[in-house]
Structure formats: structure tokens, C-alpha cells
Structure 1
Amino acid sequence: MKIFLSYGHDDNAELVQKIRDDLENGINGGHDAWIDKFKIKAGDEWRRSITDGIIDSERVLAFMSKHSVREPGVCHDELAIALGHKGGNISTVLVEPLKDEELPLSVSHIQRLDMSDWKARKAEDPEAFEVWYREKFAEILRIIRENAGFSGEIEKLAEKLRPMDNNPIIGGLLGRGFVGRGWLFEEIEAWRKNERHNRVYCLAAGPGFGKSAISAWLAHTNKIQVIAAHFCRYDQPNWSEPGAVIRNIAFQMATRLPDYRRFLLHQIEHLEKNASTMDLGAELTRLGRTGQPISSETITQLAAQAQTPKTFDKLTPAELFDTLIAGPAQIGIDGGRERYLIVIDALDEAGKELIRYLADRQNDLPRWLALFATSRPNDDGVQQFLTRLNAHSVEPDNDSNRDDAREWIGTWLTERKMPEAQQAPIVEPLLAASEANFHYLTAYRQMVEHAGPAGDALLKAPEAYPKGLSGLYLQFFERQFGGDDQRLGNYRQHQRPLLRLVMASRRPLPVALARQAFKVSQPGAETEDFVSQVLLPLGSLFPKTGTGEEQTIRPFHKSLRDWLTNPDAAGQYYIDPVAGHETLGRLLWQEFVAKQDAPETLTEYAVTELPYHLLALSEEQELALGIDRFAWE
């Protein structure tokens, strides 16, 4: 077995080295123990080597000492990577006396082997130390053997549940730092500890409150309590699909709770064994009604599918939650265990059916399991269920929220090396203009930093601060594209066609596809023209990620999409996404027709998004574009 050894470079390295040698060369050895002293060669990039070592290992053995638990530190980073990729497949060895509160939260829930007095034992009686050491080493081997099945079980669950990696989302949300919110975390912790009768705490707040950042902070810093987290994304449909939400949570819980994992595996095996298969006759009848010719190849493919059980991919969100989460969790033994948290950010993005189920069946969760969720309060059909989900509504003008926003502004200005005397005339006017909205503050910060040396002038003109998010967006468009008929004409010719595509796309738009549309509408235009005339003027409100053919563009935030597609708010900058659906439908249809004999060459965007754009068009629009929907179906 390949085992990664995480330790601090201190005077406990002697013991770590001894354990490493016995794991590899001892009587019961034969393991491949990864330790940086031997595995990182001269010239290696050590961060990449450590990351590869953790990911490629089957198990992680972490040695806890005062040096290794210091923060920040490499060992903390190693444990974060290990938890993200190995889940519960981590063991800890105490090599120095440490209090519980000194241990990293990320592993303080994991049972540990105590070897903290090894130095004293060795100094007092080396022979007795060897006897004691052999007993402790035997325990290490036992732990490794008992968890040998962990990897196989997790691999099986990964194949069935298709989990998603939260780490890039959490990193992106916390990348610029995190300030304040202590008052809120105290309230959440009091609920978790003292209100076991309330299974759900739903933070209901409007856009710009920082709900996603709060969820990310909880998931990142409270791994002792948070055993699963999922972030629904408005611009990533696969992250908001209820089945994906539930499967991802179930997988993360399984990596942390061995008894739950056992019941979950049994539940899945039982479900597959008793699953119904497709009715071949009914499917052929359905195809016949479409008028399409049914080839022998089609019949062969359907016959093969008919032998494949329909498992949880076909269950409703309510059935799936019962099967994968509530059912297996209820069977487990409470035994006074710690009350754990599931975090779901932007629950409203997952749809009303899942919210309705949680409102109706929240008490079916065991008392040791609770759900922290965030949601917008006023989305259609959501409010009536939030009131039953222990909703805690927070308004932007809440004093604590204003204090946090004030701290955020001060931290930013300090990072810009602005003297306190110069900060004073800025903080309160900017707080008032922002309405304590963190999306406003983040967007304004990006605009200031994007302006380069002129950014200080923007900051030092409080009378020009736009009022609220809507005012901020309007000011940006006025500065970039307003002022005279020529600038507005350029916007209509260059930016509006692109923004129609961005607004119509439910996920980040491939820039290559936007460039293709630009060339169709502007014959003879060069790639450089597209970048300089179309992309660059959109600035930081439409961030671009990736490079080359993988580069995408999206709105800075959902509130920007909402503003641009509202004619009363955006005025002359209004974007009608229907025209974007038409353009994307035509381009993706052309790709489908050109590659229908080799469908494996279709871009992933075309495969997933063409049906969506076709459904947004009327039959008249499809006919005008020469689209035959039945050919796709």
C-alpha cells in the first residue's frame, strides 16, 4: 500500500523516520511510504511533488506536533488536500502532547494514536522503549489493515454517485480573504449545539449579502462539524440539478462516517438489484409515433438499454434524498455523537421540489444531522417553503452587516496602502452608496483596480459613487459606452450581439463560439478586432477564465444578468436573450449537422446546450433557421 507521511520538520522526525523504515522494510512491512526527505529530488517543484504524493497515495498518516500544527504551515495544506481527495482515509499519530483545541479542526474529529511520550520513554529506558514502540507500530499496522477496504468502497461509491469537487469553488470564494461575520457564526453554532429539534437553519438574504462566501467559510474552517457541502451555481446547471446535489452530499458523508457508508452501500446494492428496467415495447411505440424510421441498429441499442436497471438517475429528488441520505443516516447509531452539518449554498437554485421536500420532511433527519442552507428569499415559489425551514432573514441595513461591510472597506483600503487619514472620508460614503452590499463592494473594487493609476481618483470622489448595485452597473455602462451616439452605436454593433449570447447561455459562454458569431456578423473581421472591439471594453464585470479554446466569459454575478435583461433597469443597454438563443441555436445546429456522422467530435457545449437553446425557440423561429428538432431528438 502507498502511504503518505505528513509531519513537521522538527525533532520528532527521528520517530517518523523509524516508522517509515519499518513500514517499508520491517517484518510486516512491504509498504511504499511517501516521505518528502526521500521522494523529492533536487530540481523538483516541491509543492507539485507533495500534491502528487498525496493524490497518488492510498492512505495518509499525519504526525501531530506543535511544529506541524502551526498555521499557516505546509502540514495544514497537506491535510486540506488529503481531506479533499482522500475523505476519511486519514489517520493521525500524536508525537507531542497537544490539547484538543491545538489540533487542526480539519482532523480533530479523527481518532488518533497517542505516541506523545516517545522521547521520555526512549531516554529513560531504550530497551523498554523498543517493546513499547513495537506495540504502537502494531497498532499502526492494524489501523492500515482495517481501512484497507476504504479505498475500494470509496471507488465504488465514486463510480455510482459521480461526486463533484468543491475545492475550486471554495478557493475562488475565499480567494480575496474573508472578514467579519463572527456574530453570524456564533448564532449558527448556538443553533447547532442547542436546538436539536430544529434540523434546518436557512440563511435567507438578497444578492450581495455574501451567502456563498459564508457557506465556503463554514465548509473550509469547520471540517470537524461540516461533513458535506454543495454549492449550487446559477451558471453551472449540473451543479444545481437536484440529483447531483444529493449524490455529492451522500458521497462526502460516506467518506467521513463509516457506519453511514456501510448502510449506503447496502442501500445502493438493494436499489440496483430491485430496479425496474426500460419497457422495450413502450419505447418502440413512442418512437413509432414520431414518424421516424426505426432501424435495426436502433432496436439493438434499445434492447441493450432495456437490460440496464434504472437506478437513482430516475428517482425524484424526494425519493433520492430518502434513499441516499435520510434512510442510511436514520439507521446509524446516535450514541451521543457530535451534531454534524450539511451545507447547501443557493438552495433555491436546486428547484422548488427539493425545497418543498426538505420543508415537509426535515424531521426525518436524525437528531445528530442538521442542514445549513442559504437562499434568496423572494424567488418565485420559494418563500412559502422557507418559512418552514427555520429561515433567518437578514436585511442589508442590519447593524452587524453594516459593521462587516465597514471592516471590509477598511481592510481593502489598507491593502492599497492608503493612510488612515485618507480612508476616513471614503469609508462612510462608500458604505452608504453600496447599501452594505458585498457584490457592490467587490465589483467597485474590481473597477478601481482595473482603472490602474486612475483608480485612486475614483475612490477620492465620494460624490460620484453610484447608488446601489443598479446604479453601479448603469455607471459602468455609461462610462464605457455612453456619452454620444457614436459610442452607443459601437455598443449596439459590438457588445450587444455578444451580450445576447452571454445572457442566453445558462453557463459560461465559450469565447470561441462568440468569436465565431462575430465573424459571421462582421465578414472580414480579424481575431484581434474581436478582442479589442468587443471583449476588452466589457472589463471586469464580465470575467474571462481559461485560455485558448477553453476560454469562457460570464457575467460577474447573477444580479448583473438580472439587471441587463430588465428593460426598465438597463434602459438603452437592455439585452434581449431571445436573440441570443436564436444565434446560439443556429451555430450549434450547424455544428450538429456538420458532425452528425461523427457525434463524438461534437463539443461538450453543443451536446449539453443545443437542446436547451432549441427549447427556448418557437417553432416559427426554428423553421426560419432551418432547424429540424426531431433530427436532434
Structure 2
Amino acid sequence: MIGANLDDRREASAVRNDDSTMIDISTYITERTRNFTGRTWVFEAIDDWLSTPGGPRFFLLTGEPGSGKTAIAARLTQFSLGTVPPLDGLARLRADCLSAVHFCSARDRRWINPHVFAECLALQLAARHPAFASALAGKSGDRQLHIEIIQHVGQVSGGQVTGVVIKKLDVSAVPPDDAFVHVVREPLEALFGEYPDQQVVILVDALDEALLYSQGVGILSLLAQANRLPRGVRFILTSRRDDRIENAFLDADTLFLSAGEFDRRNAEDVRRYIEARLSHDETLAAGVAGWPRERVHEFVAELTAKAEGNFQYVTFLLDAMVSGQRPPDELRGLPPGLDGLYYESLDRVVTIGGREWSTAYGPILGVLSVAQASLTLDQARAFTAQPEEAAWQHLGDLRQFIEDVEPAADEPVEEYRYCLYHQSVVDFLRRQFLTVKNKRLRNRYYLPAETWHRRIADSYWESYHDDWLRCDAYGLNNLAAHLFESGDAGRLPALISREWMEARYKGSNYTYTGFLADLDLAWMAAVAQRHVDLRTLARLKVACQVVNEQVRAYTSKDLETLVWLGRVDEALAHARLIQDSLNPEKPFDFLLAIYNTLKEMDRPDTALLDEMWEVACSIQNDEARAEALRELGAILAQAGDGRARAVLEEA
């Protein structure tokens, strides 16, 4: 990574507002467990593993695409949350059986970002274990970590106790492996130092999708450090079969869902799932309402046989029946296996739609297959160069393969977004050849990833290269990744310019983290060339130094001006960025200037006082630390804050 070559990078890193909060997985969990049935035998195996505290640290659940790994992980999460009752006879899979969970998804870069992974685990562990939270709060003196803390004073028998709540955590200023050590491993060591006999269980789903992260150290590398964790920390991992993952966890207890020995159990679970859908889904129930009982049994048996134990096959087909794209009485002739079903279904789309694959449907699936987040209709239209009406029609024709993402609370009601509904669709589109009914076929729907990364990159480059400030958020956040994945070693270094830095800075809520990540990719692309261009490397080094100069150039007066202009977030970002060995009190002085300006504007921010206290305590110079604490104590005393005495005593 460029961070290893550009030592100044860390000083220039800043708070990442859009990625620093924990990912909301509630809707994801609900969707993945809808009509959940069976899998008792899998839960029994996991429960047996949990019941042996001295057993292997890892339980690795693997399976073919569509075998139901994520649904199982989501159900385990529901057991732990207490939103569904535990199964009888399972001693360990109860409420609070998991201390933290993380779901990887290649369709959203945040979900496979190792910094976000470390933050999410740390925040969940802090919420669950007070000793962990206290140890993590103790890291607040590290200026490369941004930790916002709330202290609650509660009454207990015999007096008061102060509890620590971690409100916000951002580790983007340090390399992912260091971040994992600082905010996960070391607080866990502190937790087990106090409570050595407990068990902490962490669930990580779809680890294979995390392998698609292209910017150096990834989630798999972080988990490979887990053997350095206390013995009581254990992991449930799910993944497709992949040598890189299986070789990283050679000592794990393993269960391969798709093994031949489980064919009968998988078929039974699939059968029960089909019967549940026919009973609970009004459209499906109406579709078979007039059938004799024997015909319904034949339908269930035939669909179960064609699925070959694959839940995604059944889900895809039943959903198509619900949406009216396939009548229930057309099972005969359907190929078994997921690839065969996708192939036949795309044949139907192209035939019924009467449009060319290469100009109508292929571009839509192509851009969605490489998108780093869900796309709006406008984005799909722009990337495919299709008229809005045509793009809308093509999205509708392909709805079997596409998931509609409802707009967020702060987005227009009509601003739906779109993504491919399952990673197995991406896999299908990447295969040049398929095996269907024991025959090897050329995949006429093959879409190479590089082509569509380049298509998206071209769209942004042609539209905005002369004015990056007009570029939308998706482009700012992902253009560098698309250039990198398309193998465009020419435009990626060219992207790293002052104009791009300014646009990234403003688009990232006045932080340089995104720009520095783009620098990483540009460096990786440059050094990967057969003939390394030293001038390009030198220019990238200079770009990082420019960021550092930008940070050092600000004064307290500049930050006061920003606050008066209503740009408080920008002022705070700069205050948190600065590290000055010659003036260790400067970060405190910057925060003090911001607080005083807000107070002058009759908008005092009391939460800022907590951060000022943390920063003051982190100053290594005794005289400077005492002076900062005295200033803070005076402010607290003037405000009638009871903490003033403690701060002044500490000074």
C-alpha cells in the first residue's frame, strides 16, 4: 500500500463521517430470514462446537453459492438478539450468544472495508462488555483514533458507578491491521484480564466476498491475526469454498453444507421451505389453489429435485412466479442447478422482451455487476447510455435478477436504487462456460468485469474531468476503484490532482480520507506496471505532501471563520487532523477556538467539552497538559458543570 511508502499519510488522515457509524443490518437480516425453515442439524453442529469451550477457535461453515449460508448466519443473529425463540435442546444458541456480527457483501464496499469491519466489531463489543468499552475509551488519547465517549453515572448499592458508552469510532487514519489491534485485540485482552473465564463469540458471514476488497489488507488478513487473541474469543465464519480461506483456518471445525452426505437433509429443508412458501404467500397459494393435492405434491417434489439442495434456486423460481414472470405449471423442461436456471431465465427475458442482449439487457446487468453500491435509475441510464424510458423498461424486464432498494429517510420517495439480488448472479455473468444438464455450453451472457468497470469510469471521466466539483457522491467515492479494477493505469494516476483532491475533500465532509485511499490505489497501480514510472511515483508522493501542507496551514482564526460561515464540520475535521510535535497543545487550542465561537453565536456544544477533556489528557507535555486542563476547568466552572472540580484537580 502507498501508506508503507508515504510515511506522511497518517498525519493527513481525517474523520470519515459517512463510514464511521455502524452498518444497519436490520433490514438485511429480515430479508434473509423470510420464510426460514429447517437447518436444525446445522444449528446442532454449531451448538456442539460452542459447548466445548476448549475446542477450536473457529467454526467454518462453507457451501456452494445459494446453499443458504447467509440465511443461517442471519438466523443465528436473530437467536442472539432474541427476536426469534431458540430451538429446543440447544444450550448455547440463546439470547446474547453472539457478542458481535458482521455481514460481508461485495455489492457495497463499506461491508467489505476492513476499517469499517474493525469499527463495527469494536462498537458492538463495547456495547456488550463494559470492560471492553472502558479499555477502548482509554485509547482516546491516540490522535490517530477518533473516539467519541458518553459517560453515564448510575446508582448502585453503596454509591455511584460510571459507565462508558462509545458513541462514535473512526479508525480510518491508521492501517487496517493496526486499527484491528488497537480497537479490537487490545480491548479484548483487557476484558479477559478482568474476566478470564468468559466466552466471546463473533460471527462473520460471507468471508469470500471480502476477498474482493482491492485496497491491500482485507478482512481475511485481520482474522488471520485472531490466534493472538485471548483463548475465549471464538469465531463463526461462513464462506464459499475457497483455498485462501480454508488454508487460513486449517484448525477450524468445518461443515460443508453442500457435501453429498447432507443431500437428504438439504432436500428435506428445501421441501419444507417450498411448502411454507405455498402456504404463506398469497399469490403462490392462489396459483395452486385449484390443483388436486397429488399435483401439489408432484410440484413440490419436482421443484425439490431440480433445486439439488440449493435454496437460491427455489427462491429465484418462486419469486418469479409471484411476480407473474413464470406460471407455476411450467416446471417441466427447467434445467437443474442455479447456472442452468439463470441461463434459461435470461433466455426467457430476451425472447419475451424482444430486445437485443448486447444493447438492452447486457449493459444493465453489466454495470450492476460491478457497482460498488446500489445505483439510481439516473446512474444506470448514464452508465449504459440508454434513454431513461429504455433503462426503466430493461430494469423491469430483469426484475428477477434485481433487488429494489428503498430510498433512505433523507432521500426522495421516488429515488429507488437497484442492485443484483445475489452474488451468484455476478458469478454466473463472469463464467465463459457453463455446465447445464451435463453439457458444456458457451455462456452467451458472459460479461467481463473490466469492460463494465471501464464503462462506469468512462461515464464519469467524460462528464466531469474538467470540473470534478460537479461530480456526484458515487463518482467521488468510487471512480478510483473503477479505474483500478478496469486496469486503467494511465487515468488513475492522472486523477490524483489538486482539483480531484478539492472535490474529494468537500464531498467527504471536509476530510482527506477518501483522497488518500485513492492515492493508495494509484500507487498500487503504478508499482504493478511492468515498467515502473518513477516520475509518477514522485508525483504521488508530492500529492500526499500537499495534503499535509493543507492541514498545517490552518490557524485558530481560520477555524473561527469557518464556524461563523456555518462550516462547523469542516472546522472540527481540521482540528482533529492536526498533529504538531512542536506545539502539542494545538489540537486542544483549535477545539477551544471552535467551542468559544459557537458559544459566542449562542450555540454552545457541550459534547465538544468531552472531546476537549480527552484531548487535554492526551497531551504528553506536563506543562501544556496542565494549562489545557485549567482552561477547560474554568469553562466548566463558568457553566456550572460538576466536572470542573475533577478537571482542575487533575491539572
Question: Which residue of 1 is the match for residue 575 of structure 2?
Answer: none
1:353: Cα distance to partner? Answer: 5.0
Aligned twin of 2:616? none
Distance 1:595 1:171, change over 3 A: farther
Matched, 1:502 2:368: yes
Deviations 1:97-124 (A, max 9, x none): xxxxxxxxxxxxxxxxxxxxxxxxxxxx
Compare relative contact order (CA 8 Å, sep 6+) and give the higher one, 1 or 2: 2
How far apart are residue 434 of structure 1 and its match?
Answer: 0.9
Point out the more displaced range, 504-513 or 426-435.
504-513
Structure 1 192/238 Cα, relative in aligned 2: closer, same or farther at 3 Å?
Answer: same
Runs of 4+ in 1 over 4 A off after TM superposition: 156-161, 270-275, 333-338, 618-623
- Comparing 430-439 with 361-370, which one deviates more in the overlay? 361-370
Encode CA deviations 1:252-273: one digit per residue, 9 max, x unaligned. Answer: 1101111111011113435759
Deviations 1:163-197 (A, max 9, x none): 222222212212x2211111211221221122334
Where do 1:426-445 residues align within 5 Å?
Answer: 426-445=299-318
Q: SS where residue 550 of structure 1 aligns? A: coil
What displacement does 1:356 show? 4.4
Matched AA of 1:582: R
Match of 1:388 among 251, 263, 267: 251
Aligned to 1:528: 389
Q: In 2, Cα distance between the equivalents of 1:217 and 1:273? A: 33
- Contact 1:235 1:506 (C-alpha < 8 Å) held by counterparts: yes
Matches within 5 A, 1:113-128: none
Deviations for 1:302-358, whole angstroms, at most 9, x for unmatched residues? Answer: xxxxxxxx9842444433322222221122256576533211111233347543453
Q: How does 1:273-352 map to 2 (within 5 A)?
A: 312-332=171-191, 333=193, 335=195, 338-351=198-211
Counterpart selection for 2:240 from 371, 376, 381: 376
Deviations 1:521-570 (CA, angstroms, capped at 9, x unpaired): 5xxx5x334323x2222122122323667332222211111111222236
Match of 2:265 among 381, 388, 400: 400
CA contact (8 A) 1:158 1:251 kept: no
Q: CA deviation at 1:396?
A: 5.3
Cα displacement (A) at 1:492: 2.4
Q: Name the structure 1 match of 2:46.
A: 188
Q: Deviations over 1:31-71 (max 9, x none)?
A: xxxxxxxxxxxxxxxxxxxxxxxxxxxxxxxxxxxxxxxxx
Q: Equivalent residue for 1:116?
A: none
Seen in structure 2, the aligned counterparts of structure 1 residues 516 and 577 have a Cα distance that, compared at 3 Å, is same
Query: Does the 8 Å contact 1:203/1:373 carry over to 2?
Result: yes
Give the equivalent residue in structure 1 for 2:438. Answer: none
1:250 to 122, 139, 144: 122
Change (3 A) 1:166 1:268: farther
Residues in 2 aligned to 1:334 and 1:243: alpha-carbon distance in whole angstroms = 27
Q: Which amino acid aligns with 2:63?
A: A
Q: Letter of the 2:405 partner, please give it.
A: T
Question: Do 1:346 and 1:374's aligned partners in 2 also have CA atoms closer than 8 Å?
Answer: yes
Distance in 2, matches of 1:319 and 1:512, equals: 39
User: What is the deviation of 1:274?
Assistant: 13
Partner of 1:555: 420
Do the aligned partners of 1:204 and 1:393 also contact (CA within 8 Å) in 2? yes
Map residues 95-494 of structure 1 onto 2, 5 A cutoff: 162-174=21-33, 176-223=34-81, 224-270=96-142, 272=144, 312-332=171-191, 333=193, 335=195, 338-351=198-211, 354-359=219-224, 361-378=225-242, 381-395=244-258, 397=260, 398=262, 399-415=264-280, 416-417=284-285, 418=288, 420-451=293-324, 455-458=327-330, 461=331, 463-482=332-351, 487=354, 490-494=356-360
State the distance in 1 between where 2:490 and 2:312 align.
37
CA 1:311 to 1:515, structure 2 compared with 1: closer, same or farther past 3 Å? closer
CA distance in 1, matches of 2:196, 2:463: 59
What's the CA shift for 1:364? 3.1
2:473 is the alignment partner of 1:604: yes
| Counterparts in 2 of 1:622 and 1:207: CA distance versus 1, 3 Å | same
1:374 is paired with a residue of what secondary structure?
A: strand
CA apart distance, 1:370: 1.8
Partner amino acid for 1:392? L
Q: How does 1:541-580 map to 2 (within 5 A)?
A: 541-546=401-406, 550-569=415-434, 571-580=443-452
Taking the aligned partners of 2:145 and 2:426, their CA distance within structure 1 comes to 46
Inter-CA distance 367–558: structure 2 relative to 1 (3 Å threshold): same
In structure 2, the residue corresponding to 1:573 is in which secondary structure?
Answer: coil
User: How far apart, CA to CA, are the structure 1 residues paired with 2:67 and 2:21?
Assistant: 31
One-letter amino acid of the counterpart of residue 253, structure 1 = L
Letter in 2 for 1:181: R
> In structure 1, what is the equivalent of residue 3 of structure 2?
none
Residue 433 of structure 1 deviates from its aligned partner by 0.9
Secondary structure of the structure 2 residue equivalent to 1:497: helix
Relative to total residues, which structure has the larger helix share, 1 or 2?
A: 1
Letter in 2 for 1:403: E
Counterpart position of 1:21? none
SS at match of 2:238: strand
Task: Quote the residue 2:464 is aligned against.
Answer: 592
SS of 1:423's equivalent in the other structure is helix
- Asked if structure 1 preserves the Cα contact closer than 8 Å seen for 2:117 and 2:219, the reply is no
Unmatched 5+ stretches in structure 1? 1-155, 276-309
- Amino acid in structure 1 at the alignment position of 2:251: R
Tell me the secondary structure at the aligned position of residue 445 of structure 1. helix
Is 2:201–2:235's contact at 8 Å kept on the other side of the alignment?
yes
Contact kept? 1:157, 1:251, Cα under 8 Å: no
Q: C-alpha distance in 1, partners of 2:229/2:135? A: 15
Q: Any idea what SS the aligned residue of 1:531 has? A: helix
Task: Check 1:478–1:219 CA distance in 2 against 1; reply closer, same or farther (3 A cut).
Answer: same
Q: Give the secondary structure class of the aligned counterpart of 1:464.
A: coil
Number of residues of Structure 1 aligned to a counterpart in Structure 2: 422
Opposite residue 241 of structure 1, the aligned amino acid is N
Q: Which position in structure 1 is the counterpart of 2:594?
A: none
Please, which runs of 5 or more residues in structure 2 have no aligned partner?
Answer: 1-14, 82-95, 148-168, 212-216, 435-441, 502-651
SS in 1 for 2:433: helix
**What secondary structure sits across from 2:328 in the alignment?**
helix
How many Å apart are 1:158 and its aligned residue?
Answer: 10
- One-letter identity of the residue aligned with 1:607: L
**Secondary structure in 2 aligned to 1:455?**
coil
CA contact (8 A) 1:271 1:311 kept: no
The offset of 1:198, in angstroms, is 2.0
Confirm or deny: 8 A CA contact 1:334 1:368 kept in the other structure. no
Name the Cα RMSD after superposition. Answer: 3.3
Q: Aligned in 2, Cα 1:269/1:200: closer, same or farther, shift over 3 Å? A: farther
Structure 2 SS opposite 1:370 = strand
In the aligned structure 2, how far is the partner of 1:495 from the partner of 1:555? 13
Q: Quickly say closer, same or farther: Cα 1:502–1:474, change in 2 above 3 A.
A: same
Aligned partners of 1:425 and 1:326: how far apart in 2? 54
Mapped to 2, the partners of 1:618 and 1:220 lie a distance apart of 41
